[in-house]
Structure 1
Amino acid sequence: MKKSALALAVLASVFLSAHAQQTLPSETPDEFRAPVASFDYIKRTVMIPMRDGVHLNTVIVLPRNAHNAPMLLTRTPYSAEGMTSQSENAQMESILQGYDNQADVIVKGGYIRVVQDVRGKYGSQGDYVMNRPMAGTEFNPTAIDHSTDTWDTIEWLSKNVPESNGKVGIIGGSYDGFLPLVALVNPHPALKVAVPMNPMVDNWRGDDWFHNGAFRQVNLPYILEQVVTRRNEARWFTNTYDDYDTFMRAGSAGELARQRGVEQSGFWRKVLAHPAYDSFWQSQAVDKILARQTITVPTLLVHSLWDAEDIYGAIAVYQALKPNDKDNKVFLVMGPWNHGGQDGDGSKLGPVKFNSDTGLHFREEILRPFLDRYLKDDPPPEALAAKIAPVTAFETGTNKWRTLDRWPAAAGAPAALKLGANATLTLADAMPATQSYRNGYDEYISDPAKPVPYRARPIAAVGYDEAKGQTWPRWLVDDQREASGRTDVLTYTTGVLTAPVKISGEPVAHLLAATSGTDADWVVKLIDVYPDQVPSQPEMGGYQLMISADIFRGRYRESLETPKPIKANAPLPYRFALPAANHVFLPGHRIMVQIQSSWFPLYDRNPQTFVPNIFHAQPADYKKASQRIYHDSYIELPLVR
């Protein structure tokens, strides 16, 4: 037995020795050190401590040999590492390409680029809350918010980046534009400038989630992907090519969200619980918050005239801040862009051409001098010489930049675009004294089973990949002829203009309308109709270009906070503002107004019978309604006379 055991042990030893001889050594080093000495930048990743012990992941990209350089900070829920690794390249400008990185301005200006993940996202610790409410309020009883996190971040940066001059500017667009605004609440002394671009401001009145009570259901994929995982790993799925079919088959927005698992998101449960403009939304409206502040930090608000996502916010903040801006620290730029279009080539949007690169003009002639003036210890002479107007607004139609003392530029009594019989539209100098509902009306049937598409079908899912047919960023300049030919869309048109008509401000819809239902949506579109032939650009012949348009949910006619049924078949007044415009309707063009009762699937369908919460509407609740628009209706135009 002993000899047998010994023999087995010898055999086992021989086997293990042979097996060991067959194992190859790893070719992966324990730690790879990239040879970056030739790069024109240095990249550091640090975890910056907040006052509550949470650490936030922060990427710092410094020009090599930086000395006494200012810092430009962006705080984001979209991955700091991703925003600073747009390519594997030895050039700082290349790794910063992409949304929210004004790479040419940053590199030419010698700025230190800082990008930070907000708490709860990507590499940062803590819990994520969508547009985290201000600390010490009903919806955030803690002592922590984005304002305190920004303060703590700037405190650390100003003391721990020896290559800097200790001065910080904060910049960003969309959600990243909301964060510079919040930084203006109790700002850190080292914060010297803020540039909120296309910011989320009031998500019920006119930014991402609602417009005047109508839910922007195409943002459901964003809510899912942004909230349910730390690193945006969850993906929205679809079984159709046409988003129109996806949303129609589900029924209500609430049902589609349930089918996709969105109800697992705490934020979505809050949306479901707050469909009206109650304290939840009002307390988070950044324009209302900032209206109570004294602005001490020079702030450049950037607004896009065709912003498909946040067309409300920048103008609302400007109007809230300007009355208290005694030291002239608040500036506004308005450009002919889509959401974030100022970051790239601004020479055109869809088929609409502007005769120059408006994005480059903004970055070189406005943004960089603005940053240099306030962030550099010794601003270059061109920055000091640059005359940055209180308002710099691109005038569409004439395609010229205008410098203004204030916004809106229109002064004096507005004009009225009056709806008339036989689909006519008349421009009058004076506003109507009364609405009598005795001057006739036009009528159409609004059928929730066949809602009006917001763009020509098939409708691609919201996205930014042109190769996949995702043209969402430029849908606001879509030709509106498809809608004007529908029987459930009313169309009113002026004669051919013989003189220019210039507007500068917010058009306001004044509808006198009746519905056979007990709830209704009203969509109003102000349109520039091109001449039948445009020799220089034939495809623009007869083009119907939206200049300003929005939706209003009828249940909020009397109160945005408390929805009420509409009295059936009763002519009732509705008044709501459309997005800001700075446009000239040229001679040879015509002005058009379109009115409809659905804009699908951009907005959820109104059942047209009153239910307490439309998110929970059932199939039987959706009914046809007869809609009447009385000829007493008009559009108030901010006419520049």
Structure 2
Amino acid sequence: MQALWRLGIVALATGVLATPAAGDERTYKNLPSEIPAHFAPTNAGFDFERRTLDIPMRDGVKLHTVILVPKGAKHAGMLLTRTPYGADGMGHRGDSPHLGPTLRGYDNPADIVVQDGYIRVIQDIRGKHGSEGDFVMNRPPVGHGNPTPIDESSDIYDTIDWLVKHVPESNGKVGIIGISYDGFEAMIATIRPHPALKVAVPINPMIDGWMGDDWFHRGAFRQQMIPYIYGMVNSRGSDIGWTSGYRDDYDLYLRGGSAGDIGRAYGMEALGFWRKILQHPAYDTFWSEQALDRIAAKEPMIVPTMLVHSLWDQEDNYGDMAVYRALAPRDPAHEKLWLVLGPWRHAKTWEKGNTIGAIDLGSDTGTTFRQEMLRPFLAQYLKDGAPKADIAPVNAFVTGENVWRKLDTWPSTSRGGGAPVMHRWYVQPDGGLGEAVPSSGADEYVSDPAKPVPYRVRPIQPWSHGVPDQTDSWPEWLVDDQRQFATRTDVLTYVSPVLDAPMGVSGEPLVHLLASTSGTDSDWVVKLIDVYPDDVEEKPSMGGYQLPVAMEIFRGRYREGYDKPMALTPDKPLDFRFPLPTVNHVFQPGHRVMVQIQSSWFPLYDRNPQTFVPNIFNAKPADYRKATQRIVRDGAGGTYLELPVTP
């Protein structure tokens, strides 16, 4: 038997058994495939119907669209989201026959869709995933740096026109909602809108990528967004991932050189949007012409819009407030514009929101927003016969006090009240901070590009807008304890006496920096911080916590104008003025107010070489030099923060 087995092996190896005899009728016949050419699942037991189709645009390009229709739907409103992140993934969870679990995840208000029976529509934008056409990052509106007749507004118009004609279960009313890039789509939908578009909800939208959203902040490049750009633009399906081999992004970007060098190492010159970034480091017409707040300010206000802002948004903390500032004066009767300010990170709105980082918010802020604000707002415009929503024009969560406030305008001291009063808080000798005008003097530190100040405790995780868990805390870094940085010799710290009464701050704090550098260019980072008492009885782990309330960076070369980069005069005190992000916070009795000042925030932002070069993306190793930085006290004209204080 063993010999026969060995013989069979030899026969197989030599092909003796594999070769049929001449004339054998069994020669080369295959068994029929068990996979059908087309298979349509019955979806037995599902409480919704999933339709996938390609909707034609006016130029013939077809956009891949997923439509989820609740079983038995009649005269239902439609809720649209347009995305570059994959409509199939956002509208398909194969482990459940129920619509709610199917929609759970990024950018899906699952509870509201199910509760109010909306038809959910999710579409791949032009050039991404299943959609035809060419992808352009944040494609500008026609006439604003876009010479073609096609833009996102025209694609949204054509999509809505098709939906109201071909979805028989609908009532012909469409709303659009989205976060981040999808929020950009929701905002741009309000420009030249289709008549069936009844409501828009841009959440944390990308509005001005240079001034303060994803790509730059006041001229400083957000280099940890390089992997995002790489993944978005390298393929239609975003299926070529970024790999670095580094455990700590601090090492990756420090050893990589300039941001331009890092891009070159990864072959990013082949990516169209990256080339635009390299060519437009200043706020020239390329950026200003496509800033949506500027564009919206010149367009008719037609679509009722709810802007949703996250007070600790680590990605897009500029744009929605810029839109509000542009549009609110045009809507004194509060008929077209609403604002929500929540205590969240980017894209936190679909979660419970009881906490952010180590901070206890005291309630389920996410559910409160969805059920008490968003749900009635959408229903008013999308559901037949729904009552008018009883929602204040501004709904603002007060951090530090952990309450929601209903206001008529923003910023405001109360409903029907006036604006907060600006108070100057001066840097004082010996690291003090207060409202008294200080004597003249200066504090200094050495800023070394070879040892930049990290923006969070190392090892620093890569960029991510995923849901944070035990291994991914990046999305909530804006509430990180700042104590580790106060100990560095290249960070100046100023702190007030202990407060004996609560102090509310609502609006944009303004930085007035009188400073000099021994170099010819410099970055300035200013942080407004709430310092907890050393003894916090209800939560001892919060003792001494330094909670960032608002932080921002400013690239010194733009002090004469964001479109006019200019070298700084070495060792000459100059004025640098810029706003911090929007705050709505109460400093409680027993707490102290702190300001930290530094000249790098790495690796989130690229290093300033501190030697003026025409384009920092092309800075060479020899350009990166140490500089002595001086923060000047000069009486009332020295360095101070203006805080918008409420009674």
* TM-score normalised by the chain length of structure 1: 0.94
Q: Which residue identity lines up with residue 268 of structure 1 in the other structure?
A: W
Query: Alignment partner for residue 389 of structure 1, among 383, 392, 408?
Result: 392
- SS of the aligned residue for 1:37 comes to coil
CA distance in 2 between partners of 1:508 and 1:209 (Å): 22
Report the alpha carbon displacement of residue 29 of structure 1 after superposing the two structures with TM: 2.8
> Match of 1:12?
22
CA distance in 2 between partners of 1:482 and 1:112 (Å): 49
CA distance in 1 between partners of 2:549 and 2:332 (Å): 33
Query: Alignment partner for residue 559 of structure 1, among 558, 561, 576?
Result: 561
Query: Alignment partner for residue 339 of structure 1, among 314, 333, 346?
Result: 346
Bigger shift: residues 393-402 or 458-467: 458-467
> Match of 2:588?
586
Report the alpha carbon displacement of residue 19 of structure 1 after superposing the two structures with TM: 5.4
Note the alpha carbon deviations across 1:562-603, whole angstroms, 9 max, x for none.
100000000100100000000000001000000000000000
> Match of 1:416?
424
* TM-score normalised by the chain length of structure 2: 0.94
> Match of 1:53?
60
Q: Root-mean-square deviation (CA), in Å?
A: 1.5
Q: Which residue identity lines up with residue 411 of structure 2 in the other structure?
A: P
> Match of 1:107?
114
CA distance in 2 between partners of 1:126 and 1:215 (Å): 29
Q: Which residue identity lines up with residue 177 of structure 2 in the other structure?
A: I
Kept in 1: contact 2:526–2:596 (CA 8 A): yes
CA distance in 2 between partners of 1:530 and 1:371 (Å): 39
CA distance in 2 between partners of 1:184 and 1:232 (Å): 28
> Match of 2:3?
none
> Match of 1:371?
378
- SS of the aligned residue for 2:104 comes to coil
Report the alpha carbon displacement of residue 327 of structure 1 after superposing the two structures with TM: 4.8
Query: Alignment partner for residue 193 of structure 1, among 199, 205, 219?
Result: 199
Kept in 1: contact 2:467–2:475 (CA 8 A): no
> Match of 1:293?
299
Report the alpha carbon displacement of residue 38 of structure 1 after superposing the two structures with TM: 1.3
Q: Name the CA shift for 1:267/1:531 in 2 (closer, same or farther; >3 Å).
A: same
Query: Alignment partner for residue 213 of structure 1, among 219, 231, 246?
Result: 219
> Match of 2:13?
none
- SS of the aligned residue for 1:247 comes to helix
Kept in 2: contact 1:331–1:390 (CA 8 A): yes
> Match of 1:76?
83
CA distance in 2 between partners of 1:12 and 1:460 (Å): 66
CA distance in 1 between partners of 2:262 and 2:531 (Å): 37
Q: Which residue identity lines up with residue 451 of structure 2 in the other structure?
A: K
Superposition pairs for residues 425-444 of structure 1, below 5 Å? Answer: 425-427=433-435, 439-444=440-445
Note the alpha carbon deviations across 1:224-270, whole angstroms, 9 max, x for none.
00011000011111121000000000110000011112221100000
Query: Alignment partner for residue 524 of structure 1, among 513, 523, 526?
Result: 526
Q: Which residue identity lines up with residue 133 of structure 1 in the other structure?
A: P
Kept in 1: contact 2:186–2:200 (CA 8 A): yes
CA distance in 2 between partners of 1:77 and 1:325 (Å): 32
> Match of 1:459?
460
Q: Which residue identity lines up with residue 83 of structure 2 in the other structure?
A: T
Q: Which residue identity lines up with residue 452 of structure 1 in the other structure?
A: V
Kept in 2: contact 1:462–1:470 (CA 8 A): no
Q: Name the CA shift for 1:545/1:52 in 2 (closer, same or farther; >3 Å).
A: same
Note the alpha carbon deviations across 1:544-566, whole angstroms, 9 max, x for none.
00000100000000111010000
CA distance in 2 between partners of 1:174 and 1:443 (Å): 39
Report the alpha carbon displacement of residue 408 of structure 1 after superposing the two structures with TM: 1.1
Note the alpha carbon deviations across 1:453-508, whole angstroms, 9 max, x for none.
00001101112364672211100000000001100000000011100010110001
Gaps of 5+ in 2: 1-18, 414-418
Q: Which residue identity lines up with residue 393 of structure 1 in the other structure?
A: A
Q: Name the CA shift for 1:257/1:582 in 2 (closer, same or farther; >3 Å).
A: same
CA distance in 2 between partners of 1:223 and 1:362 (Å): 31
Alignment partner of 1:231 is 2:221: no
- SS of the aligned residue for 1:106 comes to helix
> Match of 2:186?
180
Superposition pairs for residues 262-411 of structure 1, below 5 Å? Answer: 262-328=268-334, 329-379=336-386, 383-384=387-388, 386-410=389-413, 411=419
CA distance in 1 between partners of 2:279 and 2:630 (Å): 32
- SS of the aligned residue for 2:409 comes to coil
Identity of aligned residues (%): 57
> Match of 2:472?
470
> Match of 1:4?
none
Gaps of 5+ in 1: 1-8
Report the alpha carbon displacement of residue 136 of structure 1 after superposing the two structures with TM: 3.0
Equivalenced residues, count: 618
